[in-house]
Amino acid sequence: MSSRRIFARPARFAAIAPYVWMVLFFLVPFGFVLKISLSQTAIAQPPYEPVFDLTAGWDALKAAFAALSVDNFKLLGSDDIYVFAYVRSLNVAVTATTLLLLIGYPIAYGMARLPKRWQGIAMVLVIVPFWTSFLIRIYAWINILQHDGLLNQVLLALHLVSQPVVWLSTDTAMYIGIVYSYLPFMILPLYATLAKMEPALEEAASDLGAPPWQVFWLVTFPLSLPGVGAGVLLCFIPIVGEFVIPDLLAGSNSLMIGQTLWLEFFTNKDWPVASAAAIVLLVVLLVPLLLYERLQKRQLEQGR
Amino acid sequence: MAEESPGTKVAAETAGGDACPDAGQPLLRIEGVAKTFGTFRAVDGVSLDIKAGEFFALLGPSGCGKTTLLRMLAGFEAPDEGRILLGGKDIALALPHERPINMMFQNYALFPHLSVRDNIAFGLKRAGMARAEIATRVSEMVALVKLEGLEKRKPDQLSGGQRQRVALARALARRPKLLLLDEPLAALDKKLRESTQGELMELQRRLGMTFIIVTHDQEEAMTMADRIGVMKSGKLAQVAPPRELYEAPHSRWIAEFVGDINLFDGETKLRDGHRLVIGTRDAGALVVAEPREGVGSGKLAVAIRPEKVKLSRRGPVTEAGRETAINILDGVIADICYLGGTTTYKVKLDTGGMLQASVANSARLDIDAYSLNQHVVAWFTPDDCVVLQS
């Protein structure tokens, strides 16, 4: 009994710690953003009102609450710019995630089938680019993709094109940048599930008469779905809110929601609308997250 | 390396359908098959014929190549040398899904995302069988392995024994010409293993299928198999029915690997008709029956199984006993190991060696049981001894 006592407290603390963290660094800031999204822009410091002043007394606080409105959310719905930005963001995220899955799966599969001692090296090769700043790597792509950049030089030298191709400020450049940057997030969870899969399962399938493509579709792929889910979400969610890559590599005629947010916040100094846009984005992203969680729960119930 | 009776020359024709091949023609013929991994020769020139309807066991210590040989039969490894003929057709390089052979995997390898029903139906669907036919076959298989009512369960909702049955049903569903079983009972506890052994034998006889089982458990091989192939360092050391393997081992290694045995090294001293007198260092002169194939001149070993050794306080009692029990050795009980059905005594011989004797505990109350340091006489007949080349 006494030993149980000793362990009880740290154990309970360990269980609470993540919640404390979430409340302090996620829920409270979220409350701030929510409050700002319900405020009105103002030429002031901070650039919105009303501002809660806890020292002003109960009545002043009540008045401040009464002044809150959902006008900003109405604006988001009424102005095409925002709707287009959301649609484009989701569009880009879906396309990019599909590309990532199509490129990442064969790489992860190949890695998982390498001899054990090569797997570690392959893993390092996947992770190594992270040792350089993300921004520098995107600038490197600008260098490669620009008018007299490496890519055009190679294409010209091989006589594949007669004139330099315009890469920069196109969606192609943006997709190259996104796929390049997010590939490890797709590969690593896929690799993890594929590597721990029992090789005998694939052998059993082929022993029972399944040619290689059926072995893949009927056994390997269904069993790697947890990894697919993790990889897709790890890529999809941040890509929806991506700002740097579209800003540096894509054209400026259609913006993603991350860029719109930036514009509202820093150029227009309209914090309330920017906050409202961020909250809508969060709600949009919550849907796939909840779906994923339900999927995981179902898998847990079935036992790994 | 030993080879069983050479079969007749195989015709280039495949035996059609599920029909048994002609009598005399082996179902499976393995010819000089070898497989090397890097510099390690896992299987080193194995030749073997297996008849249709036979229950064959590949027995050997871990790393002897038995699993590699089985995997080559299933098609998971391609042999570097040799041929594998199934019904006369060389399948050595055929892919696993092209072979009419199925395998039951060591850890069952059940598909975790599929129900019991879908696991069993997997192979049938791949064969393009009609829906209704699949349903019939699956319920037939479920009944065969007594899994009624569990069809919708997933593998992780089953006990170890039930999983083993699903694996068996899945492997049998396609009615393969040849079923390979890789340590099929290793994951079961002792009681379940024993009852499952009986069920497997019964099933194999009823279905008339050919089974090749890989095991490291010699009791399992002895119990189930019609013939056992013992493998050592990639080679077949002996292929024989269980009794022959136990009573007439080809080599010292086999004798020691299969069961317990007393071994006394020595040299031929005297030859008298069919009897040899072999002078041993540890047990003095022993009279043995001369093996049919004769013995060379070099060093020999006399092997005697513990249960063939008789013990008493004063030596053989009957007249008949006096005549046949020519090897009589005096000693002192040095160790007693009570095993329930039998007791194993270690007798320190006056000549210096140690002799193991296994005695059946035929009476519940045995006032005559031997005690430590008691003087005993051990004896055995020349025919109970096996002479092995050292």
What lies within 8 Å, CB to CB, of B270 at 6+ separation is B276, B277
Let me know: does B35 contact B80? Beta carbons within 8 Å: yes
Please indicate if any CB of chain B lies within 8 Å of the CB of A10: no
What lies within 8 Å, CB to CB, of B115 at 6+ separation is B151, B152, B153, B154
Segments in chain A forming alpha helices (H)? 2-22, 28-37, 58-67, 71-78, 80-113, 116-127, 134-145, 150-157, 171-195, 199-207, 212-215, 221-223, 225-240, 244-249, 257-262, 271-302
Among chain B residues, the shortest Cα distance to A303 is held by B156
Measuring CA to CA, which residue among B320, B286, B316, B240 is closest to residue B388? Answer: B286
How confident is the model at residue B6, as a pLDDT? 40
- B111 and A201 within 8 Å at the Cβ level: the answer is yes
Confidence check: pLDDT of A2 > 70:
no
Cα(B111)–Cα(B134) distance, integer angstroms? 18
Structure confidence by residue, pLDDT tens digits, B203-219: 999 999 999 999 999 99
For residue B106, how far is the Cα from the chain centroid? 17
Closest CB from B96, B110, B113 relative to A206: B96
| Residue labelled with tokens 């069988």 | B129
Structure confidence by residue, pLDDT tens digits, B103-154: 999 999 999 999 999 999 999 999 999 999 999 999 999 999 999 999 999 9
Q: What are phi and psi of B252, to 5 degrees?
A: -60, -40
How confident is the model at residue B24, as a pLDDT? 61
Best of B95, B126, B170 to mutate (most A CBs within 10 Å, chain A): B126
Q: Strands B178-182, B101-104: parallel, antiparallel or unpaired by DSSP?
A: parallel
Q: Count how many residues are written for chain B.
A: 390
B154 contacts in A (CB within 8 Å)? 302-303
pTM greater than 0.95: no
Best of B73, B77, B91, B97 to mutate (most A CBs within 10 Å, chain A): B97
**How many CB atoms are located within 10 Å of the residue B150 CB?**
17
Q: Is B31 helix (H, G, I), strand (E, B) or coil?
A: strand
Q: How confident is the model at residue A298 (pLDDT cuts 50, 70, 90)?
A: confident
Cα(B357)–Cα(B306) distance, integer angstroms? 4
Structure confidence by residue, pLDDT tens digits, A171-188: 999 999 999 999 999 999
Among chain A residues, the shortest Cα distance to B167 is held by A204
Give the amino acid at A162: S
CA A134 → CA A82, A129, B42, distances in Å? 27, 8, 49
**Structure token pair of residue A203:** 């052998």
Q: What angle do CA B33, B249, B247 make, to 5 degrees?
A: 135
| DSSP annotation string for B235-304 | EEEEEE-HHHHHHS-SSHHHHHHSS--EEEEEEEEEEETTEEEEEETTTEEEEEEPPTT---SS-EEEEE
What lies within 8 Å, CB to CB, of B161 at 6+ separation is B188, B192, B196
Q: How confident is the model at residue B318 (pLDDT cuts 50, 70, 90)?
A: low
Closest CB from A198, A208, A304 relative to B126: A208
Cα(A48)–Cα(A31) distance, integer angstroms? 15
Among chain A residues, the shortest Cα distance to B153 is held by A302
Please indicate if any CB of chain B lies within 8 Å of the CB of A299: no
CA B312 → CA B72, B302, B342, distances in Å? 52, 22, 16
Structure confidence by residue, pLDDT tens digits, B175-187: 998 999 999 998 8
Cα(B390)–Cα(B301) distance, integer angstroms? 6
User: Distance (Å) from the C-alpha of residue B159 to the closest C-alpha of chain A?
Assistant: 14
Confidence check: pLDDT of B42 > 70:
yes
Identify the weakest region by mean pLDDT among A124-138, A217-231, B290-304, B358-372: B290-304
* Mean pLDDT to the nearest integer, A8-21: 80
User: Distance (Å) from the C-alpha of residue A219 to the closest C-alpha of chain B?
Assistant: 7
- B122 and A210 within 8 Å at the Cβ level: the answer is yes
Let me know: does B120 contact B168? Beta carbons within 8 Å: no
How confident is the model at residue B8, as a pLDDT? 35
How confident is the model at residue B11, as a pLDDT? 35
Mean pLDDT of chain B: 88
Structure confidence by residue, pLDDT tens digits, A96-118: 999 999 999 999 999 999 998 99
Cα(B348)–Cα(B373) distance, integer angstroms? 9
Q: How confident is the model at residue B262 (pLDDT cuts 50, 70, 90)?
A: very high
Cα(B254)–Cα(B259) distance, integer angstroms? 9
Q: How confident is the model at residue B321 (pLDDT cuts 50, 70, 90)?
A: low
- A208 and B75 within 8 Å at the Cβ level: the answer is no
For residue A218, give the DSSP letter.
I
Please indicate if any CB of chain B lies within 8 Å of the CB of A211: yes
Mean pLDDT of chain A: 89
Q: How confident is the model at residue A8 (pLDDT cuts 50, 70, 90)?
A: low
How confident is the model at residue A52, as a pLDDT? 78
- A302 and B122 within 8 Å at the Cβ level: the answer is no
**Structure token pair of residue A68:** 């809150």
* Mean pLDDT to the nearest integer, A237-246: 92
Let me know: does A187 contact A108? Beta carbons within 8 Å: yes
Beta bridge partners of B85: B29, B90
Measuring CA to CA, which residue among B240, B242, B208 is closest to residue B224? Answer: B242
Among chain B residues, the shortest Cα distance to A221 is held by B113
Q: Using DSSP, how many helices (H) and how many strands (E) does chain B show?
A: 9, 20
How confident is the model at residue A302, as a pLDDT? 60
Let me know: does B15 contact B48? Beta carbons within 8 Å: no
Confidence check: pLDDT of B254 > 50:
yes
Confidence check: pLDDT of A259 > 70:
yes
Identify the weakest region by mean pLDDT among A209-213, B47-51, B89-93, B297-301: B297-301
For residue B280, how far is the Cα from the chain centroid? 31
Please indicate if any CB of chain B lies within 8 Å of the CB of A197: no
Please indicate if any CB of chain A lies within 8 Å of the CB of B159: no
How confident is the model at residue A15, as a pLDDT? 83
- B123 and A208 within 8 Å at the Cβ level: the answer is yes
Measuring CA to CA, which residue among B41, B260, B74, B288 is closest to residue B182? Answer: B74
- The full set of domains in chain B, from first to last, is 6-247 (3.40.50.300), 260-389 (2.40.50.100)
* Mean pLDDT to the nearest integer, A33-57: 84
